[in-house]
């Protein structure tokens, strides 16, 4: 079995992927043609150029333009089932999909209708594609107090059945001015039984990671690559086994890392950190979940056992029940990891 065949056969779990960012190029083109006059191009060549991000603020601007094309609950459901169709082709069994209720709120979608679309899409994903879907509701941090209020209200008043987590994303440098609102929202969400799953340490320093650990009760951290700038934080993460959702291609595309060869993933593994591999916004970054495993093999030199270890980490860091975890872990353990003998 070649390394590519091994990656294809490897059962996978995706923990860090955004609903809007998961929209495939054909889907975005369909929506942009359906809603003329938007800032989103209507040809594939122009759209791929549109996805050439200068930095994270430019990425956020493009992301918002694509979000503006998602105008009714059926669009939301279409995005979910489109993602799970793509994941099924990569032998993924489970996904924790990040949804931003505030983005649908500002487009005028009622909470109940969004929730019904998410519930319907989760059922279809399981029945048609064999992929189990769980949801994370995240606050877009740069939108502050109002975004925190809307996100929390939706999570508590009209949650989809598969809602498991509460998150915080967006431009990290904007967070300090809304710190108290975010802390209050996470306190209420976790009291209601949701897991704390914020982004941190993607585009700012270790202090953002300390904030989510100390004041948001983070159980898992989106990205977290800035932890390496603080030896005390690295030691803390190693000791507590807090999982880090690492997204190498994303970090390059948004300008957080200059070249893929310079990505800190190998050093994070060498430090003994609990790392999972994820795709973030795959069509926007011209990647896939399987593609991230290929990067790990081809660029970072990870062998089959190391790749299987990353897959196991994702299962263990997930919100799956113990039965679901055991089933996928058994499949991973059943794959041969010894190198091919010529």
Whether 202 sits among the annotated catalytic residues: the reply is yes
Distance CA 154, CA 110 (A): 10
Tokens 């996100």 belong to residue:
151
Both structure tokens of 209: 């990671």
Task: Sort residue 115 into left (φ over 0), alpha (ψ -120 to 50) or beta.
Answer: alpha
Residue 184 CB neighbour total at 10 angstroms: 14
∠ CA(20), CA(26), CA(32), 5° rounding?
A: 70
Please answer whether residues 102 and 139 qualify as being in contact, where contact means their C-beta atoms are separated by less than 8 angstroms.
yes
Both structure tokens of 232: 């005390």
Burial class (CB in 10 A: 0-12, 13-18, 19+), 339: exposed
SS3 content of the chain, % helix, strand, coil (to 5): 55, 15, 30
Catalytic residue among 202, 211, 245, 292: 202
Least Cα distance to 97 among 113, 70, 77, 75 occurs for 77
> What is the distance, to the nearest Å, from the Cα of residue 60 to the centroid of all Cα atoms in its chain?
15
| Residues noted as catalytic | 202
């Amino acid at each position: 079995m070649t390394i590519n065949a091994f990656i294809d056969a490897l059962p996978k779990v995706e923990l860090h992927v955004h609903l809007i960012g998961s929209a495939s190029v054909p889907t975005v083109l369909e929506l942009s043609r359906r809603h003329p006059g938007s800032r989103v191009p209507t040809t594939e060549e122009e759209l791929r150029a549109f996805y050439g991000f200068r930095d994270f603020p430019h990425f956020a601007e493009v992301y918002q333009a694509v979000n503006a094309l998602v105008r009714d609950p059926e669009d939301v459901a279409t995005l979910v089932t489109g993602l799970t169709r793509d994941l099924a082709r990569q032998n993924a069994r489970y996904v924790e999909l990040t949804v931003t209720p505030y983005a649908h709120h500002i487009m005028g979608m009622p909470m109940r209708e969004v929730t019904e679309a998410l519930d319907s899409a989760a059922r279809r994903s399981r029945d048609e594609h064999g992929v189990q879907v769980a949801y994370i509701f995240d606050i877009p941090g740069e939108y502050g107090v109002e975004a925190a209020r809307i996100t929390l209200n939706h999570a508590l008043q009209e949650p989809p059945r598969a809602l498991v987590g509460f998150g915080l994303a967006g431009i990290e440098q904007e967070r300090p001015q809304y710190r108290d609102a975010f802390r209050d929202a996470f306190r209420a969400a976790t009291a209601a039984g949701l897991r704390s799953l914020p982004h941190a340490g993607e585009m700012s320093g270790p202090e953002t990671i300390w904030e989510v650990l100390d004041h948001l009760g983070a159980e898992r951290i989106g990205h977290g690559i800035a932890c390496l700038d603080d030896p005390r934080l690295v030691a803390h993460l190693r000791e507590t086994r807090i999982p880090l959702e690492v997204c190498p291609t994303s970090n390059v595309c948004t300008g957080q890392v200059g070249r893929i060869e310079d990505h800190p993933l190998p050093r994070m593994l060498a430090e003994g950190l609990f790392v999972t591999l994820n795709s973030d916004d795959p069509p926007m970054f011209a990647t896939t979940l399987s593609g991230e495993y290929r990067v790990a093999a081809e660029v970072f030199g990870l062998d089959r056992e190391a790749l299987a270890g990353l897959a196991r980490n994702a299962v263990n860091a997930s919100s799956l029940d113990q039965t679901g975890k055991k089933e996928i872990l058994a499949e991973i353990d059943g794959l041969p990891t010894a190198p091919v003998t010529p």
